Structures are given as structure tokens and as C-alpha cells.
Amino acid sequence: MSKIIEIKSCNQCPNFTCERDYTSDSWDTCEKWLCKLLPEPTRRYVDWNDNKKFIPDNCPLENKN
């Protein structure tokens, strides 16, 4: 039996994790979005107020139907 969950952005996924992403501006608070299933970051420099929904094209779980 399999389960289907609807995810509208990476940060809702159980495979999501993030780290602080440091920039040259010490006032910037940015994150690096990571996927436990992918070797590369899915998104870098995500600003604290960036609320856009984001799922990368190379998401291993995305249903392409």
C-alpha cells in the first residue's frame, strides 16, 4: 500500500531540511534548502520573507502526469 501526500513547496516535504546560508551581508538571513534524496541543494539563498512555493524540476517524488 502506498500513500500519496500533496506537497506545494519543498519545505512541506518529509525529505526537506535547511541550513543557514551565509552571504557577504551579515544582516541577510538566508537559507539553503536541501533534499535528503538529492546530492545538490534544491534552492540556495532563500530569503526569510520569500514565501513562494517551490518544487524543483528534478524532484524525485514529483508526479509528472
Confidence of residue 26 (pLDDT cuts 50, 70, 90): confident
Quote the pLDDT of residue 35: 92
Q: C-alpha 24: how far from its chain's center?
A: 22
Going by the DSSP 8-state scheme, the letter that residue 42 receives in this structure is: S
For the cut 70, the answer to whether the pLDDT of residue 23 exceeds it is yes
List, edge to edge, every strand of the sheet that includes 30-35: 16-21, 30-35, 43-47
For residue 63, how many C-alpha atoms fall within 13 Å in the half-sphere facing its CB? 7
Q: Give, for 41, the enclosing helix (H) or strand (E).
A: none
Quote the pLDDT of residue 36: 93
Confidence of residue 17 (pLDDT cuts 50, 70, 90): very high
Cα separation, 17 vs 40, in Å, equals 12
